Amino acid sequence: MSEKTLAGKAYDQLFTQVFARTDPEWIHHKAFAAIRAARPLTQRVVGTAAAEAGSPVEAMGIRFPHVLGLAAGFDKNAVGIDALAGLGFGHVEIGTVTGEPQPGNPQPRLFRLTEDRAIVNRMGFNNDGAEAVAQRLAARAASGKASDVVLGVNIGKTKVVEEDDAIADYEKSTRLLAPHADYLVVNVSSPNTPGLRDLQAVEKLQPLLEAVRVKADEVTADRDKRVPLLVKIAPDLSDEDVLAVADMAIAIGLDGIIATNTTISRDGLKSDAAKVTEIGAGGLSGRPLTQRSLEVMRMLRARVGDDLTLIGVGGITTPEDAAARLEAGADLLQGYTAFIYEGPLWPRRIVRGLAGR
């Protein structure tokens, strides 16, 4: 029996016997604390093995150690970037960070659908706010102990900010956070902030992205090269709207698109319908997104050619899933829900699995 199989079986049993019977948000905080505490060991053993197995990727003028990164949502406040890198992620995207601190939606707001290997969340961008996160990132850089992991910063709209003031809110986050980012992501696709997805309409999205681009250039003028800017879109966009976003991204010189965020759809789930109804609203992530996220990736690559960096996320669980997303046109990959279900050795398994192909 291989090390992979032993480790996988051990984590599956731990998940079934402990994690699945525990409040998801509580166990997230406890598990994340354990990951941070274990950083010295994991960085030497797990992260090193993943880095050695992976092949470097050049994208957006950045050298990524390999294709796989951690999607936004796990480390909202930039408290464990280097510990997560120590598990083998080649890039870590923090956030979503908003201009102002906010507690997010009332609990409970995080739910598992274990039969579907999926998660429903309506966290509502709970985070410490751009000022606090910027201070944390500055302290990390000054410590001399930061890893060389590629750092993405994902920014979103503060809930209490009206749509008419959204640009100013994003500009504030950009001013504070762009100086610390290897790349910057504008999130307009979470279903848990009222009105946010309305900003995906091209007539609203273009001026927002253009304003963020100008502000990012302004606050990073001392760099040799500009900070790459991407937008993260929802799988629930129509095909026509996906293509419209792709055209707009090319037109304004965006660096990339992340596809896709969570879905509000509940179609085709294996989980008990009554349980799904009881959980209620929120973004669904995990296995059920695999097919739609793959379709969106194919559409985007066919539309933009080689002009944009595309990051594939949504329902990537196995090396075969990862390979399919790359074959569909992704330059880089991200995961989150599979990391929860598969455990801390999952990044290494994906990277080594891709290398084996």
Binding-site positions read 72-76, 96, 121-125, 154, 187, 192, 232, 260-262, 286, 315, 336-337
What backbone torsions phi and psi does residue 70 show, to the nearest 5 degrees? -95, 130
Residues in the annotated binding site for substrate = 76, 121-125, 187, 192, 261-262
Give the Cα separation of 34 and 245 in Å (integer). Answer: 40
Angle at alpha carbon of residue 23, lines to 17 and 26, rounded to 5°: 110
- What is the amino acid identity at position 307? D
Phi-psi region for residue 323, left (φ > 0), alpha (ψ -120 to 50) or beta? Answer: alpha
Whether residue 173 lies in the annotated active site: no
**Where does residue 252 rank: exposed (0-12), middle (13-18), buried (19+ CB within 10 A)?**
middle
Residue 289, token pair as written in the block: 């997104």
Q: Is 99 helix (H, G, I), strand (E, B) or coil?
A: coil
- Angstrom CA distances, 234 to 10, 89, 209, 255, 311, stand at 34, 23, 16, 18, 13
Give the Cα separation of 272 and 165 in Å (integer). Answer: 41
Angle at alpha carbon of residue 119, lines to 13 and 31, rounded to 5°: 50
- Angstrom CA distances, 152 to 73, 79, 177, 272, 299, stand at 12, 14, 10, 36, 24
Give the Cα separation of 319 and 271 in Å (integer). Answer: 25
Give the Cα separation of 255 and 63 in Å (integer). Answer: 15
The continuous run of DSSP H or E covering 258 comes out as strand 256-259
Among residues 252, 257, 264, which one has the least CA distance to residue 242?
Answer: 257
Give the Cα separation of 347 and 327 in Å (integer). Answer: 19
Catalytic residue from among 190, 238, 265, 293 = 190
The sign of the torsion formed by the CA atoms of 248, 93, 61, 295 equals negative
Active site amino acids: 190
